[in-house]
């Protein structure tokens, strides 16, 4: 059975590499650690990143059952600060930044003028007039340039990138709380969901956010690049008794897809808006003004031609992949944006944009794979639900 998984999931790296940027790939501060652990490295979004250490399935199951750690130092980190930081960010992002108390974060979008998604990101309010934006690696340079262009003169607001000087790890899984206390001390309380705190670590400090991209309990930790190896080593050492495994992009992709979390560049793009993507919850159209608002109001009024839906294959067979055509009763109605063989469900799953008329839960569709059509069903989010204890 294992050889089947290896053969099927080997292609995950190939789909991920579709986001590769031109030029020589950059390396995170943990590159040498990944090589020392025998990771398979691939170019991703302009970076050399580990796609797996042992196997995608093993790393995926470690997160679902125990705990795993991911290097996410390739992601961009911006600081926006000043007296007008909140008001300006509210004109640039879809969610309502005014709702953030200090130490809170929210998922949001950066849009173009047509309402298309430049990037999806998390914004944290880390002080009264200071915000941290964590953005996707593939979009970091474009995001920064777009924000700079819209930072007009006269605003008491400063935008800087700390990406080159900071690293980050994602620790995900049911043993996260135990690992957090092993790292930072039993007297320090874990932040609540979507909150961020500063904690001392050795002779330095880190910021810990209760967020993640796997559907499991987890934290994302941000720290100066110089502390990356020290922190990574401590996580692996303290996590030994908890069943920790270092995890790569392959497991990150299968984990997020089981939860129907979108991947920028695949499920999200400048040609798609948040309403089409089924993520209108993170758009506050009651705000008087933000980039892309007018286009989204039109979408809200007239509806969408297509919607992003999760689906599950009805038969065992080859897994769905991005760009495969979607049919209903012989008529082409859309295209797969993400697909894989789910390690948790042992079944083919994916997401696809399909015509809105066929986007209802329970709709019967067909995925064209290698010139053959295989039956699937539009499902409710998420595709994976953790079993009751």
Q: Report strand pairing: 26-27 vs 47-52.
A: parallel
Phi, psi (5° rounding) for residue 285? -75, -5
Cα angle: 56, vertex 361, 300; to 5 degrees: 105
Categorise residue 262: left if φ over 0, alpha if ψ from -120 to 50, beta otherwise.
beta
Nearest Cα residue to 365 out of 385, 337, 336: 336
Using an 8 Å Cβ cutoff, are 114 and 61 in contact? no
**What local confidence, expressed as pLDDT, does residue 20 receive?**
41
For 385, the 3-state DSSP assignment is coil
In sequence order, the β-bridge partners of residue 347 are 342
For the chain, helix (H) and strand (E) counts, in that order, are 10, 20
Q: Report strand pairing: 347-355 vs 204-209.
A: unpaired
Strands (E), the chain: 26-27, 40-44, 47-52, 67-71, 76-81, 105-111, 117-127, 130-135, 158-161, 166-172, 196-201, 204-209, 218-224, 244-247, 306-313, 325-328, 331-342, 347-355, 364-369, 372-378
pLDDT along the chain (389 residues), means of 10: 46 44 81 98 97 98 98 98 96 98 98 98 98 97 96 83 98 98 97 98 95 98 98 98 98 98 98 98 97 97 97 95 97 98 97 98 97 97 90
Q: Which two tokens stand for residue 321?
A: 């992949």
């Amino acid at each position: 059975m294992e050889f089947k998984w290896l053969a099927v999931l080997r292609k995950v790296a190939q789909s991920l590499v579709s986001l590769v940027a031109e030029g020589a790939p950059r390396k995170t501060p943990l590159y040498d650690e990944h090589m020392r652990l025998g990771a398979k490295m691939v170019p991703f979004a302009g970076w050399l990143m580990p796609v797996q250490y042992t196997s995608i399935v093993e790393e995926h199951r470690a997160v679902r059952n125990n705990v795993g750690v991911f290097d996410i130092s390739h992601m961009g980190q911006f600081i926006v600060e000043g007296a007008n930081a909140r008001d300006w960010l509210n004109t640039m992002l879809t969610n309502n930044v005014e709702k953030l108390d200090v130490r809170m974060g929210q998922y949001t979008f950066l849009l173009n003028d047509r309402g298309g998604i430049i990037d999806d990101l998390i914004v944290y309010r880390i002080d009264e007039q200071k915000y941290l934006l964590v953005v996707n690696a593939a979009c970091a340079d474009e995001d920064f340039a777009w924000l700079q262009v819209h930072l007009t003169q006269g605003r008491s607001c400063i935008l800087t990138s700390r990406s080159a000087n900071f690293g980050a790890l994602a620790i995900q899984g049911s043993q996260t709380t135990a690992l957090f206390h092993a790292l930072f001390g039993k007297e320090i309380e874990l932040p609540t969901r979507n909150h961020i705190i500063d904690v001392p670590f050795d002779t330095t400090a880190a910021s810990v956010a209760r967020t993640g991209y796997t559907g499991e309990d987890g934290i994302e930790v941000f720290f100066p690049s110089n502390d990356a190896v020290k922190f990574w080593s401590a996580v692996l050492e303290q996590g030994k008794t908890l069943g920790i495994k270092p995890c790569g992009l392959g497991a990150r992709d299968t984990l997020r897809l089981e939860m129907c979390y979108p991947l920028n560049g695949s499920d999200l793009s400048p040609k798609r808006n948040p309403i089409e993507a089924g993520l209108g919850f993170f758009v506050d159209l009651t705000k008087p003004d933000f980039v892309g608002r007018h286009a989204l109001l039109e979408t809200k009024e007239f509806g969408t031609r297509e919607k992003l839906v999760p689906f599950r294959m009805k038969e065992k067979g080859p897994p769905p992949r991005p760009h495969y055509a979607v049919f209903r009763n012989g008529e082409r109605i859309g295209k797969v944006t993400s697909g894989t063989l789910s390690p948790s469900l042992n079944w083919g799953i994916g997401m696809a944009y399909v015509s809105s008329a066929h986007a209802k839960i329970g709709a019967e569709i067909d995925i064209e794979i290698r010139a053959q059509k295989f039956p699937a069903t539009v499902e409710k989010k998420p595709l994976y639900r953790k079993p009751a204890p």
